[in-house]
Structure 1
């Protein structure tokens, strides 16, 4: 299993609303990310579009249903189909979420939280090892947004992520919005989270919008808010070269609106690095 080299580009999710834009010509991005499960098929227009885009741009495969925290283990057929897609596309990397989505008989299609216990850690590490061995490549795991905690928890989320990366050799996808959402819901220190993450294992950042309220909900249906931009500025100052992406999955705006947000991410990164160099 080879290491994942750092990649410092800025990108967007490739969504159906913008297929024409990406096929028509150059779009000012350094990579695109796609939901793996939408392309784990033998043919069809989405896969043809992805192959045409891949001829111009690097692609990241981002999964939502590997269920890396499943006590029943991973779905072998899912892994086989994901490996076939990865071999076909040759992505920058493959990622999924630190969560569970299914039992042996049912897929919830929701990113459900894990207890932060040593027993859950052992299960997650076994599943990551199997996934990486099957895929023949290291993976990235993303921190989830969460709305509850477990009384059995034995460690913080950042300690859990640090340990899975140490034990399995996986890398991390740091979702800045998810950190903010979970901190609002659970009251932990945002900067303690950033300080506790192993910076050398982070290869990608997600930026997205959420719905505020008594319980803050990760929705991916609105622009990045100022508080998340501020947290991103703090994070980018602690990390090395990482891929940065604006993530929008609902109420998808015209492409120029997303590109404007991506330009804002570029400016924050550039300003932060200049200030650090002074």
Structure 2
């Protein structure tokens, strides 16, 4: 795989296809959810083929269940390999989560205890994925709502060890950091200070929802609204440290018109240009 450009991107939504073709927006890349393109043909593949001719492509998986205790789904890996061979995306990523039990898929990204046993499972699965797909994958940090008493490793140490053992890269979701920090009452800047930034191959930015509970606010990684101001602030601080990185606006629910997404991407692009230049100086 070649590398994504250090520029803003957005998630591709089929309802925006005609507007994208008509306006050819100045974006670094589009990201798609791999599971939406596992059929053999039809309109989805016709649109994606046209999109791929003009833009770099990030393939984002949600169904591998990297953290699950069972074996990975071999058929799912075969379908992923077919997608990669067909479109040659610049990036493939998945989540640090589990999403299946036996043959049942739960349609959610569920958290993991950070233990040596979980570390072995995750690393074994990533090794298998990278061998089967013939590429380096990026692993995304989760948004979490519960913590495990069994955990013996901080999340950042866990991720750093996964990178060390497997050679995978990381997808840093800044909104997920902010959501988890708020829910568990820790300092997001301390988390980011400990994050293995040298392994980051892509950044995600998204909006979140807030529910008020007796114990305090609960943030939910909802992907249905603009990026929040504190997340933009954290993102700028990350880019000041790392320099420019491929940066995606995620908006998957209550999807707005294309110009709204492009305005969010333009804000990310402005930060990449201004703050990234300072990091490179």
* CA–CA separation in structure 1 for the residues paired with 2:227 and 2:153: 29
Q: Tell whether the 8 Å contact from 1:39 to 1:47 is kept in structure 2 after alignment.
A: yes
How many residues in Structure 1 have an aligned counterpart in Structure 2?
Answer: 276
1:268 matches 2:271: yes
* CA–CA separation in structure 2 for the residues paired with 1:226 and 1:179: 14
Give me the TM-score of the superposition, normalised by structure 2: 0.94
1:126 equivalent in structure 2:
124
1:154 equivalent in structure 2:
152
* CA–CA separation in structure 1 for the residues paired with 2:120 and 2:189: 27
* CA–CA separation in structure 1 for the residues paired with 2:278 and 2:6: 18
Shift of 1:269: 2.3
> Which of 228, 233, 249 pairs up with 1:230?
233
* CA–CA separation in structure 1 for the residues paired with 2:195 and 2:4: 16
Q: Which runs of 4+ in 1 moved over 4 A?
A: 274-278
2:53 equivalent in structure 1:
55
* CA–CA separation in structure 1 for the residues paired with 2:50 and 2:269: 26
Q: What stretches of structure 2 of length at least 5 have no aligned partner? A: 212-216
Shift of 1:165: 0.8
* CA–CA separation in structure 2 for the residues paired with 1:222 and 1:6: 25
Change (3 A) 1:6 1:92: closer
What do the CA deviations read for 1:83-125 (whole angstroms, capped 9, x no partner)? 0000000000111100000011211010000111111010000
What do the CA deviations read for 1:36-71 (whole angstroms, capped 9, x no partner)? 000011111011100110011111100111100111
Q: What stretches of structure 1 of length at least 5 have no aligned partner? A: none
* CA–CA separation in structure 1 for the residues paired with 2:118 and 2:60: 22
1:27 matches 2:30: no
Q: CA RMSD in A?
A: 1.4
> Which of 221, 224, 231 pairs up with 1:221?
224
